[in-house]
Structure 1
């Protein structure tokens, strides 16, 4: 169960990261065409939040795998 939840967290992080990346790209195209300032800190915060969420999920998977391997060795 914990492995499944950690995998879902990884998936959520990847979805948020990809969505933020697409939004950053689209905002950059729009900013270039309209000659407005292209900096949008909230999109970068969203992108980094998605990346960190996926990273936390990966760490949780590693912890669960290590616990399972430790239990088998005993």
Structure 2
């Protein structure tokens, strides 16, 4: 893997609502070798991007549950 500090780690079509889609990405971060300062910066950027995608998915799920709270 390149040690670029530009982040495009999370695929644009990722379905972040499912842990099975997120887990391989988080595992790849844990397993990543850090050989230089830019590698560490890249890891931080990629983790931030992945966390943002997961947070957005969680927020969207919450919004959907509150929008339909009166449905029984």
Asked whether the two chains share a fold, i.e. TM above 0.5, the reply is: yes
| Gaps in structure 2 of 5+ consecutive residues | 1-14
**Do structure 1's residue 18 and structure 2's residue 27 form an aligned pair?**
yes
TM-score, structure 2 as length reference: 0.56
RMSD value, Cα: 2.6
| Gaps in structure 1 of 5+ consecutive residues | 1-7
Contact 1:17 1:48 in 2 (8 A): no
**1:1-74 equivalence runs, <5 A:** 8-11=15-18, 12-23=21-32, 26-27=33-34, 31=35, 40-70=40-70, 72=71
TM-score, structure 1 as length reference: 0.55
Displaced runs of 4+ in structure 1, greater than 4 A? 36-39
Larger Rg: 1
